[in-house]
Amino acid sequence: MADVKVPVLGESITEATVGEWLKNPGDPVKVDEPIASLETDKVSVEVPSTVAGVMGEQLVKVGDTVEVGAVIATIAEGGAAASPAAPPAASAAPAPTAPAAVASYGSSSPAQGQAPGSDGAAALSPSVRRAVLETGVDPSNLQGTGRDGRLTKEDVMTAAQNKPAAAPAAAAPAAAAPATGGRKEERVKMTRLRQTVAKRLKEAQNTAAMLTTFNDVDMTAVIEARAKYKDLFEKKHGVRLGFMGFFVKAACMALKDIPGVNGSIEGDEIVYHDYCDISVAVSAPNGLVVPVIRDAETLSVAGIEKTIGDFGKRAKDGTLKMDEMRGGTFTISNGGVFGSLMSTPIINPPQSAVLGLHRIEERPVVRDGQVVVRPMMYLALSYDHRLVDGREAVTFLVALKNAIEDPTRLLIDL
């Protein structure tokens, strides 16, 4: 038997939470094949097998906290003939947990129809199972986009949106059941990532003197530039031309003019940075993560878009590294992709400011004495009033607005 231990997770990280088991007792395992997923404060880390053989006993449960170096499972090397016979008895207890969880909520989801030992049921993470319950989507008919073809929550939600219109009628008899079954509740333990996010955001509220100022920006020029050059851009650089490249470049220019927005407070000292490490909020299966674009002021729009695209892909796969989410001098969060019209984003400590982008919406505005319709976006800058004055915050937003409304400024650094 070979022991599987929790690997080194990164500097100053001594423990993690078991997120899910990727292999059940009795499953064949290859060398370096992931058998479990661990959740740290910021990312998910997969635990690979060091030997080839058959999965043995799982020594910890999903949700348990484990320390670096702790033994979490055993593997029978070489896949002895006796090994396959033992797993059915060993796996009989843990394997039904996924179907049991489904049954406890009275769902008629097809997930219940899977065999207790099937890989399909075992590979569904808690968030995916919850999405399956809520949407009624059959996971066996979906093609996963996560690592090794595993389903993600986004896969389930996309399938739910694309369900035929006739589906609700078929589900009508089941919809009547809750009337007799009463109200139900679900209790799910907070992931380590969500606990860390909650702790840091509350810390920001308790520590910083936060204030938010707003402005709006006419997106006409950027939209026209994007429409004109997007095909050539993608052909040359191999990445799509989005709006974030423009905003990151514009933010870097504005940060040079207003260095306080790019600074931070450490004790009784103010730290000013002559570089722009821009944190960008990226959606991941377990929540938002904030990887950092290092030295963004030195990158082209193409370089920025490539970096963001790579972050998005690896966030979905769960392969972002801890070091890629450390540091950052300024944050940009784009709630517009989810339909947000306006918000007051919370600072990411120890940074002094965060920029919130929102959805583009056609609105009537006055231009040269005439009322015209323009694609407008609200901008929100939340900042630490201990370091950034209102005048500086407004000046920053105006500089950003001017650069977006006249992208030529990005070329001549004006």
From the candidates 32, 64, 257, 385, which is the catalytic residue? Answer: 385
Distance of CA 35 to the CA centre of its chain: 22
Query: DSSP string covering 365-387, please?
Result: EEETTEEEEEEEEEEEEEEETTT
∠ CA 18-22-26, nearest 5°, is: 115
Give dist(CA 305, CA 312) in Å, integer. Answer: 10
Q: Is 385 a catalytic residue?
A: yes
Structure tokens at 139: 């996971």
Distances (CA, A) of 386 to 214, 265, 342, 397: 19, 9, 24, 18
From the candidates 3, 138, 216, 389, which is the catalytic residue? Answer: 389
Give dist(CA 284, CA 289) in Å, integer. Answer: 7
In sequence order, which residues have a C-beta less than 8 Å from that of residue 84 and are 6 or more positions away?
26, 54
Residue position matching structure tokens 């593997």: 75
In sequence order, which residues have a C-beta less than 8 Å from that of residue 15 and are 6 or more positions away?
65, 66, 67, 68
Distances (CA, A) of 303 to 253, 276, 318: 16, 14, 22
Q: Which residues pair with 283 in a beta bridge?
A: 288
Q: Is 273 a catalytic residue?
A: no
In sequence order, which residues have a C-beta less than 8 Å from that of residue 402 and are 6 or more positions away?
409
Say which DSSP state 407 is in: T
Active-site residue numbers? 385, 389
